[in-house]
């Protein structure tokens, strides 16, 4: 722990890990600099301290939910890739930035650019036909591959598979 925080904490009425976390959050949130700490001319109000502790708890819970959803995504991608006939699986955002891939990077970049463009133009066409409808899924079958595209609000899932399966 930084010396200025230890010095401040010694001045607190009760020292506990909880108070240390609150003080650290308060200091970083309010950009308290070293000279202010050394002068000891500030006090953490009880209400604000409790509010910040709640904010820290909320942030930790949010991160834990994100981590568990990342784990779920990893499991789902592995399950999809293990299906018979699947040759590749890619996830990228709506701008074509690669999030996950199971095929070589150069090929993924190529797919990301083209599939993103395809999704945008297909969504636009669907909206022109019926403005209450939206794109749910695209399935392209060629002689070499079958390309399954599942666009979402923020991400696009692409699965490549052998068309003979």
Q: Which residues pair with 145 in a beta bridge?
A: none
Instruction: Quote the CA–CA distance of 20 and 8 in Å, as a whole number.
Output: 10
Closest CA to 40 of 82, 5, 66, 69: 5
Secondary-structure percent of the chain, ordered helix, strand, coil, rounded to 5 = 55, 20, 30
pLDDT at 49 over 70: no
Strand, coil or helix: what is 95? Answer: coil
Q: Express each pLDDT in 74-131 by its tens digit.
A: 777 888 888 899 999 999 888 888 888 889 989 999 999 999 999 999 999 999 999 9
155, 95 contact by CB (below 8 A): no
Instruction: Give 120: exposed, middle or buried? Use CB within 10 Å, 0-12, 13-18, 19+.
Output: middle
Given this model, what pLDDT does residue 23 score? 60
- CA dihedral sign of residues 123, 161, 140, 117: positive
Q: How far apart are CA 143 and CA 8, in angstroms?
A: 70
pLDDT at 6: 52
pLDDT tens sequence across 14-40? 545 555 555 655 555 555 554 555 555
Residue 54 scores a pLDDT above 80:
no
Distances (CA, A) of 162 to 114, 116, 138, 165: 20, 22, 16, 6
Q: 130: which 2 tokens?
A: 């019926």
Phi, psi of 56 (to 5 degrees): -65, -45
For residue 154, the model assigns a pLDDT of: 86
Q: Does CATH number 3.30.450.30 belong to domain 84-161? A: yes
Q: Model confidence at 159, in pLDDT bands (50, 70, 90)?
A: very high
CA angle 13, 19, 22 (to 5 degrees): 130
Can you give the residue ranges of every domain in the chain? 3-64, 84-161
């Amino acid at each position: 722990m930084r010396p200025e925080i230890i010095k401040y904490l010694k001045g607190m009425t009760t020292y506990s890990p909880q108070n240390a976390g609150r003080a650290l959050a308060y200091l970083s949130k309010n950009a308290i600099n070293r000279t202010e700490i050394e002068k000891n001319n500030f006090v953490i109000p009880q209400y604000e301290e409790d509010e910040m502790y709640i904010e820290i708890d909320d942030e930790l819970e949010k991160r834990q939910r994100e981590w568990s959803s990342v784990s779920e995504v990893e499991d789902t991608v592995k399950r999809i890739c293990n299906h018979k006939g699947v040759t590749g699986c890619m996830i990228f955002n709506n701008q074509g930035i690669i999030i996950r891939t199971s095929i070589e990077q150069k090929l993924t970049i190529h797919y990301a650019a083209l599939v993103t463009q395809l999704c945008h133009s297909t969504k636009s066409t669907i909206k022109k036909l019926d403005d209450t409808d939206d794109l749910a899924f695209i399935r392209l079958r060629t002689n070499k591959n079958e390309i399954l595209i599942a666009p979402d609000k923020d991400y696009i899932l692409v699965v490549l598979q052998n068309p003979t399966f």
